[in-house]
Amino acid sequence: MRTQVAIIGAGPSGLLLGQLLHKAGIDAVILERQTGDYVLGRIRAGVLEQVTIDLLDEAGVGQRMHQEGLVHGGFDMLFKGERHRIDMNKLTGGKNVMVYGQTEVTRDLMDARATAGLTTIYEAANVAVHDFDSAKPRVTYEKDGKQHEITCDFIAGCDGFHGVCRASAPRSAIKEFEKVYPFGWLGVLSDTPPVHEELIYVNSPRGFALCSQRSETRSRYYLQVPLTDKVEQWSDQAFWDELKLRLDPEARAKLVTGPSIEKSIAPLRSFVTEPLRFGRMFLAGDAGHIVPPTGAKGLNLAATDVKYLSNAIIEFYQDKSESGIDSYSERCLKRIWRAERFSWWFTSLMHNFPENGAIGQKLQEAELDYIIHSEAGARSVAENYVGLPLDFGH
């Protein structure tokens, strides 16, 4: 098979890239090792920056998001038993975020791709990338017991943290930066009304908690738990009891509990690959970087990587220029490191680090006090949370 761009991975990055390239008349095939239902079954974050909202509109998949998404102008920070609202809208001159699950974003992109009759090969096994240091890269894979080959001009590695593309880059050409956090997030999805109309980030002596949502009838909650915990150890009742112990009296009284429809523990890490380009192969999204979910940056970083990459590929074909391709990695990394910093800082501020002792909690509370009572401090949180503009370059 021949295509212009072979995209590895049908998560949000691969699907959005495929959609933006299609809009520009560029042919792309997506190879995905799982089934579509498996991809949709992954429960991930759900906060979209304005830049991401605009990109989904540009891709022609924003309709349901605008109908069902929840616009949030702020969020609460709970510490020392008191809630304080970060008024993002006021502090950023009118910017908001949209609460809309990644599963829904993925579904909207999948539906658009199917409607356009574009090729996504699911259950593609043993995908391998070849000759990406030449002008004629290739991808091979197995399907239905047969070996297949795709010749292309570019390979887009949208295959996530555990994908094959980054792993195939020459070790001498790649540098990886990683920080693993000494705890995980135990997440529960429940068909219960959210405890509050906006998100609540909690720093409590018992650990971090987050009260989020998917709609007016579906909630998402997280608890910081030791890395040694197994999800089987946590009954629904144990989860709700612990969450209540970390909440303030008002939220505790309002919390509606119910059966979990999804429950899982995810590790937290900061991870960046430099560079993100290897000849005709490019990494985008989780394939190139991971953020701890505290800052809700994962999906938003993936979206802007994809926007920069689609612009570069479109420029190659339409203007016969390679400047976008040549600057792709540097342009993404400026934004990635800003988001990595905020995600690391917010994680360090809101979670318990027992190794830091009692003074660690006191220092966190002092920083939280500063943020809440300083407009400059609160604005720093707000402008990072709503996200940097697409043309950010300093």
Mask 160-189, x = binds ligand APR (CB under 6 A)? x-xxx-------------------------
Contact range with ligand APR by CB under 6 A, out of 32-40, 60-68, 260-268, 338-346: 32-40
Residue 237 CB neighbours (<10 A)? 9
Nearer to ligand PHB, 299 or 313 (CB): 299
From the list ligand PHB, ligand APR, none, partner contacted by residue 299 (C-beta under 5 to 8 A by kind): ligand APR
Mask 48-67, x = binds ligand APR (CB under 6 A)? --------------------
| 72 within 8 A of 201, measured Cβ to Cβ | no
Rule CB under 6 A: is residue 39 a binding residue for ligand APR? Answer: yes
Dist. CA 394–CA 379, nearest whole Å: 19
Q: How far is the CB of 376 from ligand APR (least distance, A)?
A: 29
Nearer to ligand APR, 242 or 286 (CB): 286
Q: How far is the CB of 59 from ligand PHB (least distance, A)?
A: 22
Q: How far apart are the first and last CA of the chain?
A: 42
Dist. CA 98–CA 294, nearest whole Å: 16
| 132 within 8 A of 278, measured Cβ to Cβ | yes
From the list ligand PHB, ligand APR, none, partner contacted by residue 212 (C-beta under 5 to 8 A by kind): ligand PHB
Residues that bind ligand PHB (CB under 6 A): 45-47, 199, 210, 212, 220, 293-294, 296
Mask 232-271, x = binds ligand APR (CB under 6 A)? ----------------------------------------
Q: How far is the CB of 381 from ligand PHB (least distance, A)?
A: 12
How many residues of this chain interact with ligand APR, rule: CB under 6 A? 28
In terms of DSSP H, where are the helices of the chain? 12-23, 36-41, 50-58, 63-68, 88-91, 102-115, 165-168, 236-246, 249-254, 298-319, 323-350, 357-373, 375-386
Catalytic sites, residue numbers:
72, 201, 293, 297, 385
Nearer to ligand PHB, 3 or 212 (CB): 212
Q: How far is the CB of 380 from ligand APR (least distance, A)?
A: 23
Dist. CA 392–CA 373, nearest whole Å: 28
Rule CB under 6 A: is residue 28 a binding residue for ligand APR? Answer: no
Phi and psi of 179, rounded to 5°?
-135, 125
| Three-state secondary structure call for residue 296 | coil
Q: How far is the CB of 187 from ligand PHB (least distance, A)?
A: 7
Task: Output the six-digit token pair for 125.
Answer: 């096994």
From the list ligand APR, ligand PHB, none, partner contacted by residue 194 (C-beta under 5 to 8 A by kind): none
| 76 within 8 A of 198, measured Cβ to Cβ | yes
From the list ligand PHB, ligand APR, none, partner contacted by residue 303 (C-beta under 5 to 8 A by kind): none
Site for ligand APR in 1-20 (CB under 6 A): 8-14
| Three-state secondary structure call for residue 384 | helix
Phi and psi of 303, rounded to 5°?
-65, -40
Residue with nearest beta carbon to ligand PHB: 212
Residue from 69, 74, 157, 298 that binds ligand APR (CB under 6 A)? 298
Residue 201: CB partners within 8 Å, gap ≥ 6? Answer: 75, 76, 77, 78, 208, 210, 294, 350
Nearer to ligand APR, 78 or 189 (CB): 189
| 105 within 8 A of 65, measured Cβ to Cβ | yes
Q: Is the peptide bond before 275 cis (omega within 30 degrees of 0)?
A: yes
Residues that bind ligand APR (CB under 6 A): 8-14, 31-34, 39, 44-45, 102, 124, 127, 158-160, 162-164, 285-286, 298-299, 302
